[in-house]
Amino acid sequence: MLFGSHVSIRHGYSYAAKAAHVAGCGSFQYFPKNPRSLSIKTFDAHDAMNCADYCKANGLLSIAHTPYPTNFAVDEGTEMADKIMGSLLNDLEIAEACGSIGVVVHFGVYKGKDPLKGYVNIIAFLNRVLRSWNGNTLVLIENQAGQGTKIGITLEELVQIRKLADYPEKIGFCFDTCHAFASGLWTGENWDELVARGEEIDYFSHLKAVHLNDSMFASGSFRDRHADVGQGYIGERRIKKLLQTPLMKRLPLILETPGNILSHSEQIAYLKRLCKES
């Protein structure tokens, strides 16, 4: 299975890929640029190309994660929307050069009175940005925990946004296990139903990556706090059930966990052990 973790690009993209491979990862995630800013990064194209080549040669899959201020739900025609659009195209270019499957973005936060306007904004934003994007790297929309905003927590919303957008073929999904659990989408006991529903509505055919995180809070808490795998409310039994799901075999399974109790490599070793137990 393609376990991996979020890695630093402090020493460059190709270094990050090598570090992930040496650590025994089959995949990894990185921030293409400063995660706290939407500023455009002039990147080292040669280093990015080396990263892509290295990943290809070693069967390593990668995904990028947009900076935190990225939000597709902001109102159209605003300075902020333009800034986010420029930043996202920059992320896509970097990720494409690094040979990454996609760029992960959180569903979005809408602060206005009418939540439907938030959805309209997301679709309009996707249409605008993807009109001028012709690379292979996808935009991967991630489900949210429901902390602060209750949108983007169901599979139906994600599927519907993709379907209503002008370029659905440029959009995929990233499933965050902590967010799914915290939002109550995954109650802890409905995994089989969740998978069946996702297959029925065409969610899993577009799922390209998983954020494999445990949760520090109970299902339905709407609190987004990641825990080391097996150490939170999701726990070993449910993680094991998830890993046994056949569709998980081909996907990058990325840890975004704090590493408080176990380091990322210890967590990956633990996950590999869980896979071996039947």
Measured from the CB atom, the residue of 162 and 211 that comes closer to Zn ion is 211
Cα separation, 213 vs 230, whole angstroms: 9
Paired tokens of 210: 């998983």
Q: Does 93 participate in binding Zn ion (rule CB under 5 A)?
A: no
> Which C-beta is closer to Zn ion: that of 48 or that of 230?
230
Give the residue from 218, 211, 214 showing the smallest Cα distance to 227: 214
> In a 10 Å sphere around its CB, with 0-12 CB exposed, 13-18 middle and 19+ buried, how is residue 123 labelled?
middle
Comparing C-alpha atoms, which of 52, 51, 123, 129 is closest to residue 87? Answer: 129
Q: Which is nearer to Zn ion, 130 or 140 (CB)?
A: 140
Q: Provide, rounded to whole angstroms, the least separation between the CB of residue 247 and Zn ion.
A: 18
154-183 mask for Zn ion (x: CB under 5 A)?
Answer: ----------------------x-------
* Segment interacting with Zn ion, rule: CB under 5 A, options 81-89, 111-119, 209-217, 262-270: 209-217
Residue nearer to Zn ion on the CB measure, 3 or 43: 3
Which one among 6, 170, 208, 211 touches Zn ion, defined by CB under 5 A? 211
CB 106, min distance to Zn ion, A? 8
Q: Can residue 224 be called a binding residue for Zn ion (CB under 5 A)?
A: no
- Smaller CB separation from Zn ion, 208 or 211: 211
Answer whether 275's CB lies under 8 Å from 243's CB: yes
Distance from first CA to last CA of the chain, Å, rounded? Answer: 15
In the bound state with Zn ion, the residue whose beta carbon lies nearer, of 121 and 144, is: 144
Q: Are 129 and 87 in contact (CB under 8 A)?
A: no
Half-sphere exposure of 164 (CA within 13 A, CB side): 13
259 torsion bin: left (phi>0), alpha (psi -120 to 50), beta (else) = left
Count of residues near Zn ion by CB under 5 A: 2
Shortest distance, position 275 Cβ to Zn ion, whole Å: 21
Q: For binding to Zn ion (CB under 5 A), which residues are involved?
A: 176, 211
